[in-house]
Structure 1
């Protein structure tokens, strides 16, 4: 019993106590039955003696088989009492009664011994099996607590304990999922902090240098004006980086609830193009919109215009003066497709698989002001709407971005 727990020991002690009490009761019952047997034996002997005294002519078998009457019993009782044989006679003087008592006691003892022995044996097997299962479960739980989040309790069998083990496994799976989520959140925050610090470091250093130059040349208005403008550009750059990173962080964290409505793509694209009209005119570039005026897209207009704007901005930045940017849209029973293409410098094959990575800067790019967040943000917005975005490009001939949104509602 040393390996069993306190509750099991209490159970075994209670059963042992019941066993001892049962043996004591068996002893008392055997004495009670022996006393009853003694009384029956006395009545029988009274009847036989009285019957024989009342029929003295000869010894009759009926003296032993017939039901004795009151007269026979009374006469036999008086006769036997005269020689000291009565109910007061000690059981020790009656071997037959003693044998009956001993036989009864042994029968009861053997019956109880067999019953409690069977109970103890079955209980021992059960408790030993349960003890082994619990020890194995404790070992698995300890492994889980020590860091092995894949550790699980074997619970293929049926039973109360195994139902409990199954619940523990479910809890372990939930805890593992929470731990993994927290790990990802931590890594995500570390990544965001690293990105922000990395991207802010350069403009901050530039601002510090510009400020020192302005202080040292504060009498030179032309120098002050020049470096003030440069400072303003760096501030704008930091502002763009921070705002874009915050948008990406909110999308990645899943805290943005897209307020989707059926938006007219023609109207939406016209609003987006108005943001770039002046830029396009100044650089002698043309943006051409084409598509059905009744085509709609279930989307959050504010976020989707951000995605379209980032792709068009990227096209403008990589298109030579006199170039064209085409924005086309169409709707089929299966999907709504938006194609944004340009006839610009194109994307090197080495860069095609990386343009959606944050802060990616191509070694072939001549853009020194971009921070590499526009296209990743566009991709995150499109995917948040359940869409896909792909790119094809030919170096020196242009680039095409294709956005597909499956129609989950009826036409």
Structure 2
């Protein structure tokens, strides 16, 4: 305690004042000297005792902070009293609770990152393995030309799948990190639907499916045309994939004072009740998912829509079809 320069200065001043008072008391009487001496000893002793108690409290708090730095957030130093030490203890406890919560979140983030890396590795492993096998077969000089053409085409398909997967993962990571600046333009839904239909017209034509679009040309919402188009494309791809040849896909939209709604319906395989709560989860693939499905399209669509003050819900019944309802709200309530 006496190593503290401030404590030494306080003691020096108190001893100096005591000596000065003793010298002054000597001019009056021996009794005055004794009284001043006793008073000085008591005051210095009380000050020393009080300072020692404070140092003990500080040492306890130092030990508590060392435990916190070691990762132990279970201790509670609050004493619910008045005074500066009680205020300090309560403040330290609040910081401890905050650090505990942050530690829990960081642990969850690590688990999420580990799971995501595992899922990504699983998604990449299948096409890479397939391409390696086909590349080895292509080295065979005796391989028939028809097989060579087939393997080359399959490798190209797998490369396109990998390119789409990596591109989608990059978009998702940007959205998760809040680095995407969504525009707030007035978007006409007719233009959005027209743009979103372009990439799926060929598979629709191959499966001889029918597409209908109904809605007022003036319906619009505030959002980002390009990113929202990405979301709608993924929903349409899901509908085309899970609707049988000759099936129908109906797109309708409307607007009211609260929100703009876009509905995308199909009469395809449908989704079971058990799967509906999971379809927007990343890398989730339903029982009826195709072999090339990555389980990321609907997750990307959900992230894009919700980041633009919107929401998306699904209604489905097995063997009867599925309906996606997208709503963009006009203001935050």
TM interval, shorter chain, is: 0.7 to 0.9
Structure 2 equivalent of residue 191 of structure 1:
115
CA–CA separation in structure 1 for the residues paired with 2:305 and 2:166: 21
Structure 2 equivalent of residue 359 of structure 1:
283
Structure label with greater radius of gyration: 1
Larger relative CO (CA 8 A, sep 6+): 1 or 2? 2
**Deviation by residue 1:118-164 (Cα, 9 ceiling, x = unmatched):** 4642x356335423432332232122112124656437555555555
CA–CA separation in structure 1 for the residues paired with 2:112 and 2:290: 28
Match of 2:42 among 113, 117, 137: 117
Structure 2 equivalent of residue 271 of structure 1:
195
Structure 1 equivalent of residue 204 of structure 2:
280
Match of 2:125 among 201, 204, 210: 201
Aligned-CA RMSD value = 2.8
CA–CA separation in structure 1 for the residues paired with 2:309 and 2:77: 39
Structure 2 equivalent of residue 294 of structure 1:
218
**Contact preservation (8 Å) 2:190, 2:217:** yes
Secondary structure at the counterpart of residue 278 of structure 2 = coil
**Contact preservation (8 Å) 1:217, 1:223:** no
**Contact preservation (8 Å) 1:196, 1:242:** no
TM-score when normalising by structure 1: 0.72
Q: CA deviation at 1:344?
A: 0.9
Secondary structure at the counterpart of residue 262 of structure 1 = strand
Q: 1:291 to 1:277 in 2, by over 3 A?
A: same
Match of 2:19 among 18, 21, 41: 21
**Contact preservation (8 Å) 1:328, 1:340:** yes
Structure 1 equivalent of residue 137 of structure 2:
213
Gaps of 5+ in 2: none
Q: 1:152 to 1:293 in 2, by over 3 A?
A: farther
TM-score when normalising by structure 2: 0.87
Structure 1 equivalent of residue 235 of structure 2:
311
Match of 1:368 among 291, 312, 317: 291
CA–CA separation in structure 2 for the residues paired with 1:408 and 1:362: 34
Q: CA deviation at 1:369?
A: 1.5
**Contact preservation (8 Å) 2:315, 2:323:** yes
Structure 2 equivalent of residue 59 of structure 1:
none
Structure 1 equivalent of residue 3 of structure 2:
6
**Contact preservation (8 Å) 1:336, 1:404:** yes
CA–CA separation in structure 2 for the residues paired with 1:355 and 1:245: 17
Secondary structure at the counterpart of residue 139 of structure 2 = helix
CA–CA separation in structure 1 for the residues paired with 2:293 and 2:34: 97
CA–CA separation in structure 1 for the residues paired with 2:295 and 2:198: 23
Structure 2 equivalent of residue 71 of structure 1:
none
Structure 2 equivalent of residue 72 of structure 1:
none
CA–CA separation in structure 1 for the residues paired with 2:50 and 2:130: 77
Match of 2:319 among 396, 399, 408: 396
CA–CA separation in structure 1 for the residues paired with 2:298 and 2:328: 17
Gaps of 5+ in 1: 31-103
Q: 1:167 to 1:286 in 2, by over 3 A?
A: same
Structure 2 equivalent of residue 337 of structure 1:
261
Aligned residues: 332
CA–CA separation in structure 1 for the residues paired with 2:266 and 2:296: 20
Q: CA deviation at 1:293?
A: 1.4
